[in-house]
Structure formats: C-alpha cells, structure tokens
Amino acid sequence: MLVKEWAEREHLHPQTVWKWCRTGKMPVPVERTPSGMWLVHDPKYETPVPSDTRQSRTVCYARVSSAGQKADLQRQADRLKAFALSMGVEAPEIVTETGSGMDDKRRKLKRLLADPTVGMIIVEHRDRLARMNAGLVESALKAQGRRIIVVDDTESDDDLVRDMTDALTSFCARLYGRRAVKNKVQAALRAAEDA
C-alpha cells in the first residue's frame, strides 16, 4: 500500500513514515519502485487473494494516450502495483502501453485479453481499459471465469451520463483530434449541465 495510506491507518504523519522509509527504520517491510515511490507491505492490512485466482496470473495494465505522458505511465503502474500488493497478490505483473483508448490497435492489451492464463486484470480507471464498451470486455472475461478490477471506480453510475460521455468523447475525437478530447468533453458536459 502507499505510504500515505499506511500512515493514515497507523495514525502517523506521512512525513514521519517517509523518513522511516529512507532511513530503514520502518517496522514493516517496504519497497522502493523504480520511479522512487515507497510501497509498504504490512501483513496486517494485506488481504489474501481468493483461492481460485491463485493459479492464474494477475496483471496490472497501465495506459496513457501519448508518449508525452511517460512519467504519468510509470506513476500509474506504481499505484496499480501497490493496489495489487495490498490485495495480497505476491508478484503482480505490470504491463504498460501507450496508445489511444478509442481504437483497437493496442497489441499488449489484445495479448492480455487473449491469454487464458491471465485471471485478473487490474486497471486504475475504466477508461484506461477502453474509452467505450469496457462493460462488454468485462462481461466477456467474466464468462471465462476471469475478471477486471477497477481501482478508482468513482465515475458516474448513471448509465445515461456514461453513455453521453462516451458518445461525446467519440465525436470530439473525430472532430478535434485525440489530444484535446478530454477538455472538449468536459466543456460540453458543463455546457449541458448549465442548459
């Protein structure tokens, strides 16, 4: 789990915990990722993985849209790994990819979806998997006894809002190019709410 989360659970200040990590004074095991982030492995808070997923592989899938977001890609991968470790996954695999969420030209994701040994795919947000129709992918995997876990599923639960956002994202991607899609969708949704 992340240092901040562990500090909160233990009622400690995050700066104190970071200092303990750097000086080797942590009372529980810690790990430093390549990007410099500290992960705390406290057995007290790590939940065991269900037995049916122990035989299959767990993969953390991180995606960004452009090469200019490489730093965010590494941070996203680190957060996913921390989440998987907090679930009790011993050695989660990390797959990172740069590509649009609007098309099907993502080779690494295709390999993951086609590989029957991958029992669980962990993504940070649903749109990291696919901008549209992520529910269909989830249903297809569920029928095979596999599953997708969305770490931050704070998106709107209203199907109409989600469908409208997906449609606006698709139209804006075609009209304005993929770089400005997110801003255009947010502006359109604000305009729709104000009307």
Catalytic residues: 65
Residue 45 class from Cβ within 10 Å (0-12 exposed, 13-18 middle, 19+ buried)? middle
Which residues lie closer than 8 Å to 17 by C-beta, 6 or more apart? Answer: 3, 6, 7, 10, 26, 40
Can you tell me whether residue 24 is helix, strand or coil?
Answer: coil
What secondary structure does DSSP assign to 96-108, as a single string? EEES-SSSS--HH
| Rounded (5°) CA angle 41-44-49 | 75
